[in-house]
Chains A and B, each alone.
Chain A
């Protein structure tokens, strides 16, 4: 029961969601809609579960006075303020939207902006043309970078009445080699996803169920 039950449920639900694509049958379509709704509720609960485990994790750090437990207090405090504000004053006014607008948003945006600095230092320290492939990567990168900004678009030459600039070259790199590369990868990964999905439905792939499945 502990093992065949979930796998059987998975097979039935998986086949239903697969078949619905090919039949206009009203009953199957209705159940397809149900499964989509149920799936969203389950995902919502799972996400809440994730946050609970974060709370437990930081709670343990505080209890064990592990290193940096002071910072765990800050995390638990931030979490509690948001939940209390959200429940009492709702999502639309009071501290909840204010904290999102002036605490969470700027910090999340700034953390991402740090990457501009990391990319710069990586460009200087890590991006070496060690081999032909790495060299091609850098040349394509430089062409695209220069060709996509106003300054770079002005560098070029006139041939006949058309002006060929770095932008034309960068458009070509994006529309031909880059397109072929992304398409080649996409086809391969698409096959991989399909194979994994089939294995899950047929119960061959059970690792996601954990020990003893």
Chain B
């Protein structure tokens, strides 16, 4: 029996163990769940160490003599201080470095890509430059975005005009969430189709190999 066929059979048994959770929580499922938690944690720690420490630090510093990476190693060690409560405060330097670096490079890119370009994309096209249908669509998008921004405007009470506009905002939001719901159902079912394709196609193939 090849490693692949054995693997497919083990995979099929574990797949059924996870599906058994649908009937109810049972030892067969809990064994599979615990095995998954352990195996995936083991997989991740080997990869994190291999890529984060070996490939990204040890090899470049030792073999390629890139000593500019040494402070990174030091900050990594500072993070390990979290393991001992008495010196836990040392790890704050590593956390502060990590979170502040992320915050620094976030501001310009998020402002440009998630805000400015989106606002630019919501402006109406010049009159006559777009077909009636496209222009109508752009106008509806503009109204939708304006209404939603009013809905998320917290400094003023939503009464009168602002109240009606924010009411339109929540309705547009719901149409958007409806589209998300439809697509999410599509995605989930595709994953189930994938598992059934495994059970109905890959598993029988391996079992046939065994019977020869």
Contact = CB atoms under 8 A, between A and B. Distances in A.
Q: Do A and B come from one complex?
A: yes
Interface of A: 2, 5-7, 9-11, 13-18, 20-22, 30, 34-49, 51-52, 54-55, 68, 71-72, 74-83, 86-87, 91, 96, 98-119, 123, 127, 132-134, 136-145, 148-149, 170, 172-191, 193-194, 196-198, 200-201, 208-210, 213
A92 to B, nearest CB: 11
Q: B interface, by DSSP: helix, strand, loop or mixed?
A: helix
Interface band, chain B: 35 or more
Interface string B127-160: 0000000000100111111011101100000000
Contact of B104 (A13, A38, A190): A13
Contacts of B108: 18, 21-22
Contacts of B148: 180-181, 183-185, 188
A86 B11 contact: no
Given A113-B195, A183-B145, A145 B36 contact: no
B39 A82 contact: yes
B42 A82 contact: yes
B185 A10 contact: no
Given A41-B57, A51-B45, 5 more contacts: A18-B105, A39-B98, A74-B35, A79-B41, A184-B169
Contacts of B169: 184
B108 to A, nearest CB: 4
Contacts of A68: 30
Contacts of A11: 100
